[in-house]
């Protein structure tokens, strides 16, 4: 087994300095962001092996994505595409609210298709991880996600999905049946309570998600911590008290922490503890993936162990 395999759209990320309307911003930083690549970086930082695949355009943003992921220790399969690499612009309208504008319609990432996915990568991975973002981007992206899941399942490779519902990409009505089908094919499912309520009854979110098929169901609930049902047993881990600088990327850090420990053979309670600590560490640093921690930093925060 070669570690985590994931795929999806990674974009350039323009972030306005300071707080207030974008009109009055005087400085910007430029980086990268994408749920799947964030998880790949997070796993690599925690000592695991990870591979990310996606389409990138013939532009500086595409080149930056390749170089940043490779520098982070992620094995990168960047499929060249003739169109542009997607872009997002983020600013803090106030101390409490962040706003993101996406420029991704027709982007290189949205043109991902089943033929881009090497079957050997899917069959030889330790875990194949997908999100609910990719199937919302285009019909070919959706087909690629379902093909990847089926190929992994046929090979006995565990499939992980982070529901990651994005209202800007599709309606709840359109998303619910697709996400429900994906959860039914997965072994490991991550969701917020609101995301889970898209397609299961709220009376017992954990139990109702588990009834769809996954053996490991984890509900991420921000400052409340997480609850999980793993192998029929229920767990609850509280959040760690930290000063929040930027909440973006916390969910991806959580997923990376859980999957890194799962691939390392850790028990469920340890996986959840590491996931909580990774998410807590990520919110103390600005950026989508810049704050993802290594093992020593998790230990300093009070979570995780020091496996290398």
Residues annotated catalytic, as ranges: 252
User: Which residue bears the tokens 């994906």?
Assistant: 182
The strand pair at 75-80 and 50-56 is best described as parallel
**Beta strands across the sheet bearing 159-162:** 75-80, 50-56, 4-7, 127-131, 159-162, 188-191, 216-220, 226-230, 233-237
> CB under 8 Å to 296, separation ≥6 — which residues?
306
129 SS3 class: strand
Q: DSSP character for 240?
A: P
Instruction: Kindly state the tokens that stand for 43.
Output: 């796993």
**Beta strands across the sheet bearing 98-103:** 28-33, 11-19, 87-92, 98-103
Which pairs count as long-range contacts for 266-271, CB under 8 Å and 24+ apart, including other chains? 266/305, 266/307, 268/216, 268/228, 268/230, 268/231, 268/233, 268/235, 269/235, 269/237, 270/305
Pick from 202, 206, 234, 239: nearest CA to 224? 239
User: Which residue bears the tokens 């094919």?
Assistant: 185
Q: DSSP character for 136?
A: G
As a whole number of angstroms, the distance between CA 248 and CA 38 comes to 11
> 64: how many CB neighbours lie within 10 A of its CB?
18
């Amino acid at each position: 087994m070669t570690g985590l395999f994931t795929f999806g759209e990674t974009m350039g990320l323009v972030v306005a300095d300071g707080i207030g309307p974008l009109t009055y911003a005087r400085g910007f930083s430029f980086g990268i962001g994408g749920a799947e690549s964030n998880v790949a970086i997070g796993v690599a930082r925690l000592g695991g092996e990870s591979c990310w695949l996606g389409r990138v355009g013939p532009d500086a943003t595409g080149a930056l994505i390749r170089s940043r992921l490779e520098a982070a220790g992620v094995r990168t399969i960047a499929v060249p595409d003739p169109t542009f690499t997607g872009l997002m612009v983020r600013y803090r309208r106030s101390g409490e609210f962040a706003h993101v504008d996406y420029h991704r319609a027709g982007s290189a990432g949205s043109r991902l298709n089943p033929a881009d996915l090497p079957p050997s990568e899917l069959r030889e991975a330790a875990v194949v991880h997908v999100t609910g973002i990719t199937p919302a981007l285009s019909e070919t992206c959706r087909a690629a996600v379902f093909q990847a899941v089926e190929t992994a399942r046929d090979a006995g490779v565990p499939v992980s999905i982070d529901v990651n519902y994005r209202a800007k990409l599709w309606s709840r009505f359109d998303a619910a049946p697709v996400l429900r089908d994906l959860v039914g094919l997965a072994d490991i499912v991550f969701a917020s309570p609101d995301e889970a309520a898209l397609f299961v009854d709220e009376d017992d979110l954990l139990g109702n998600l588990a009834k769809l098929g996954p053996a490991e169901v984890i509900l991420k609930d921000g400052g409340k911590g997480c609850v999980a049902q793993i192998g029929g047993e229920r767990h609850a881990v509280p959040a760690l008290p930290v000063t929040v600088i930027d909440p973006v990327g916390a969910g991806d850090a959580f997923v990376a922490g859980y999957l890194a420990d799962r691939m390392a053979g850790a028990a469920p309670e340890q996986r959840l503890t590491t996931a909580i600590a990774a998410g807590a560490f990520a919110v103390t640093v600005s950026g989508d993936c810049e704050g993802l921690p290594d093992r020593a930093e998790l230990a300093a925060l009070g979570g995780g162990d020091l496996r290398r």
